[in-house]
Amino acid sequence: MCCVITILLFIGPRAAAIIWSLVDPVRWQVFDNLLLPVLGLIFLPWTLLAYVLVGPDGVAGIDWVVLVVAFLIDMGTFGGTARNRDRIRARRA
């Protein structure tokens, strides 16, 4: 079950971003070039989705809270996998 959750955390937001960019390309015009969305898709997919959600009119007020929460989710995804790896190694020993 843990592997399914991990796969969903890694693949889910990336698949959502790709599908969303194909369905609603006008919303993705908040980016000037293709480099930033591609890097966001690779490294910070939840933050990328949050920015596209709040970004068309600029980021102000509560939008910053949404972006910070998305960034923390991204960091938790990366940090959680390393911590779980250590727990699995400890169980086997």
Tell me the pLDDT tens digit for each residue of 59-77: 888 889 999 999 998 888 7
pTM of the model: 0.74
Where is pLDDT greater, at 80 or 53?
53
Is the predicted pLDDT of residue 2 greater than 80, yes or no?
no
Q: What is the pLDDT of residue 80?
A: 57
Q: How confident is the model at residue 85 (pLDDT cuts 50, 70, 90)?
A: low
CA distances from 49 to 67, 69, 83, 90 (A): 9, 12, 25, 35
Residues 47-64 have a mean pLDDT of 85
Residues 21-49 have a mean pLDDT of 89
The DSSP symbol for 28 reads G
